[in-house]
A and B are shown apart, each in its own frame.
Chain A
Amino acid sequence: LAKTTQPISMDSYEGQEVNITCSHNNIATNDYITWYQQFPSQGPRFIIQGYKTKVTNEVASLFIPADRKSSTLSLPRVSLSDTAVYYCLVAPRGDSSYKLIFGSGTRLLVRP
């Protein structure tokens, strides 16, 4: 399973766009990139998943360059409630028993 590296923490202010980059140099051909959000004392929540180029949903955008060795989660106009830990994970799809290996995650603090 590909290992991921993210910044330990980030600070931002309400209304700003936040970009969190994740490195996954050893990503395999059939690996997908998934981001989860976790609030204190809660289980992780799925944010977005992608394979290449750009994916956008109502919550975030995910940018993946052609070499797929990194990805960037973009949160538009963050609010205080976006303060959480964000995890980038890489795992294959199609294998019913694939494991999610969580890295350290990025602790995002949004200030007023």
Chain B
Amino acid sequence: GAVVSQHPSRVICKSGTSVKIECRSLDFQATTMFWYRQFPKQSLMLMATSNEGSKATYEQGVEKDKFLINHASLTLSTLTVTSAHPEDSSFYICSAEAGSAYNEQFFGPGTRLTVL
């Protein structure tokens, strides 16, 4: 099946710094990618929908100026957590849509962000 990678898999940063997370579709082109956040023992929460070459669409309650999303190519989307704070510590997961008739989304392995 299609493979989606994320980098880094784990990151620890100091409060106030910015962190960039990459999401790549390795063997297919993804016109649409999605970013989720998951807190411990909770479900995935959709943060935003990212379309190649256009601005991301953010879900209600998600600060677009804090979570910057760039989808510059059909295989790469990035999420930058700006001025990170401890409450931003979470598991960030991306998914990419293969664009087939099945609209199947393939998920990345996730990135564990810890803000000290």
Q: Do A and B come from one complex?
A: yes
Q: At the interface, yes or no: B43 with Cβ under 8 Å from chain A?
A: yes
A52 to B93, CA, bound (A): 30
Q: Are A97 and B93 in contact (CB under 8 A)?
A: no
Chain B 1-54 interface residues, beta-carbon cutoff 8 Å to A: 1, 4, 6, 31-32, 34, 36, 43-46, 49, 51
Assuming the contacts A41-B91, A93-B102, A93-B103, asked whether A99 and B109 have C-beta atoms less than 8 A apart, the reply is no
Decide if the interface of chain B is mainly helix, strand, loop or mixed. Answer: strand
Binary contact readout A72-94 vs B (1 if CB under 8 angstroms, 0 otherwise): 00000000000000010001111
Give chain B residues whose Cβ lies under 8 Å from the Cβ of A91. 103
Give chain A residues whose Cβ lies under 8 Å from the Cβ of B109. 42-43
Q: Are B104 and A43 in contact (CB under 8 A)?
A: no
Q: Which residues of B contact A (CB under 8 A)?
A: 1, 4, 6, 31-32, 34, 36, 43-46, 49, 51, 91, 93, 95, 97, 99, 101-110, 112
A9 to B97, CA, bound (A): 29
Q: Are B43 and A99 in contact (CB under 8 A)?
A: no
Assuming the contacts A43-B108, A43-B109, A96-B97, asked whether A102 and B103 have C-beta atoms less than 8 A apart, the reply is no
Assuming the contacts A41-B91, A41-B110, asked whether A99 and B102 have C-beta atoms less than 8 A apart, the reply is no
